[in-house]
Amino acid sequence: MRRPSQRTWIILGLSAAAVIAAGAFAISQAPVPKPATVASSDAPTTPASPHSGTPGGGSGSTDAKGSTAAPTTPPVASKRFTTEVLPAAPATAPALPPTTPLPYPVSAPLPKSASAVGKLAAGYPADVLPQAPGSTIATSSIASQSGHLQVTMTAASSQQIVDIVAFYRTALAKYGMYDTAAPALSGSTSTVFKRDGNSVTLTVTAAKSGTTYALYGAFTAAG
C-alpha cells in the first residue's frame, strides 16, 4: 500500500482545523439558556434553634413537624378606652317655693267678753269654731283678758258622733290643731285638739234624735 505524501497530510490537517474552527464559532453564537428560578416553597427550611433570638425580643417556637411558629411578641401598647357611662353632673335642684305658715287661731286685738242663748255671742270666733251642720245652738260665750280668750258653745245636731268629730277635725286642722282622745263619761266621746298654747275640747253625747255636743276653747292671741 502506498503511503500518503507529506502534502496530503498537510491538506488533511488544514481541513480538520477548519472544521474545528467552524464548530467553535457555531457554539459561541448559540443562545445561552437562563437558569430556572427555584420556587421559594422548594427551598430547604432550616429549623430555628429554640435558643436563638428573634427580632423584637420574642423567641420562636418549633412544633412537632419542625416548622417555626410565629414569635410571641407582645402587642404594642395603645390608648385605652372605656365604655363606662359617667354620670351626668347633677343639675341644680330647683328652689322650693316658700312655705306659708298656718294661720294662728286668734290674734290681737281680742273681742270683748259676751254671751248669748240660741245664737252665737258677739265677737265669737266662728271661723275657728263654727257650728256643725244641722246644729241648733243652745248657748255660746266668749271671755277675753290679757291676751287670752276662752270660748264655749253647746248645741244639738241630727248628725252622729263620728260626723261631729270629723267635722271639727277638718275645721281645726287648718290652724295646725290636731286631735287626741280624752277621757269622757259613759255614752260620750271626748277629743282634744292642741297647738302650742291653744286647745279645744270637744265632747259629743248620743241623744234620741242625734247628738248633743259642747265646745270649750282656750286660746292665746298671737302678736
* Average pLDDT of the residues in 93-105: 80
Q: Is the pLDDT of residue 105 over 90?
A: yes
Q: How confident is the model at residue 55 (pLDDT cuts 50, 70, 90)?
A: very low
Which CATH architecture group holds 114-220? 2-Layer Sandwich (3.30)
Q: What is the mean pLDDT of the chain?
A: 78
What is residue 92's predicted lDDT score, i.e. its pLDDT? 72
8 or 210: which leads in pLDDT: 210
Q: Of 158, 21, 172, nearest to 105 (Cα)?
A: 172
What is residue 205's predicted lDDT score, i.e. its pLDDT? 97
Distance CA 112, CA 105 (A): 17
What is residue 96's predicted lDDT score, i.e. its pLDDT? 74
Distance CA 165, CA 91 (A): 47
Q: How confident is the model at residue 77 (pLDDT cuts 50, 70, 90)?
A: low
What is residue 50's predicted lDDT score, i.e. its pLDDT? 47
The b/e string for 143-161 (b: 16+ C-beta within 10 A; e otherwise) is: bbeeeebebbbebbbebeb
For residues 171 and 178, the answer to whether their CB atoms sit within 8 Å is no
